[in-house]
Amino acid sequence: MAKVFIDPGHNYSGADTGAAGFGLKEQDISVLVAQRLKPMLEKNGFSVRMSREKITDVVAGGLSASLSGRAQAANDWGADIFISIHCNAANTKAYGCETYCVSTGGNAGKLARLVQNHMPDETGRYDRGVKTANFAVLTRTSMPAILVETAFIDNYDDNKFLASSSGREKCAAAICKGVCEYFGVEYNSESEEELMSKEYDELKAKNDSQDKIINEIGVDIQSNKNDIDGIKNSLKRYDYVDENMPAWAVPTITKLVTKGFLKGDENGKLNLTEDQLRLYTVNDRAGLYGE
């Protein structure tokens, strides 16, 4: 499993903070892009570490310590490649994306070209190409290292792109595609939104299945309730010939009480069930009790 070290450029505070424009801060955007990139790389089978996991992280207070700390962390981990993520800034007029390496030859140059090839296609930003520079994070790392300038934070159009969730997603996808190509890995094209949609569909299907089971249980409960109500009704006692007794049973029971065939207990209660009422009524209609 190849090991990719992601370095979200700059710090939340201190000496090594980044550029700013239209309310955005480079140190924040670099982390937000990295947070998109990390799960993409992991989805494609890479082991990933980051110099800054969240926006408020600070690698080190001083500039030199901050830069060397990032490179040293990648070296200590034994990363296979190093990717530093930044936002550019110039004169508000410049725009587009570019990727830096120490030399265009070798593996670092290859990685830079592959990532940069995807950046303009994926993001729609102007292609400023691959450039060389002796940035500290590129010279102090012991593995192929690149620095990606995603867009110009002080250019209005580029800034709007960086400010959007979809824009940062596209930057991450472009870098991930370049990394996959560098290692000869087939890129898994599922975006975070697609993965979330798939998870939603799976969860919905599971909930629908559970709803079906719950509905079936509800039917069984209602059926059992009906059976219980039937049993309760069959066990209901009718003590007197009154409005509580079913109308169809009143003539027969009245006759039997009048003739003395039915007598209540010491309190005059007949204590008859519905089944008994039906039996007496059927016998009466058969003429067993006379006129």
Catalytic positions: 149
Closest CA to 150 of 129, 119, 181, 113: 119
Amino acid at 134: N
Give 134's DSSP letter.
Answer: -
Structure tokens of 289?
A: 């009790």
**Residue 148: enclosing H or E segment and its boundaries?**
strand 145-152
Structure tokens of 175?
A: 């870098």
Give one DSSP letter per residue of 68-114, joined into a string.
HHHHHHHHHHT-SEEEEEEEE-SSSS---EEEEES-SSHHHHHHHHH
Check if the beta carbon of residue 52 is closer than 8 Å to that of residue 10: no
User: Whats the size of the chain, residue-wise?
Assistant: 291
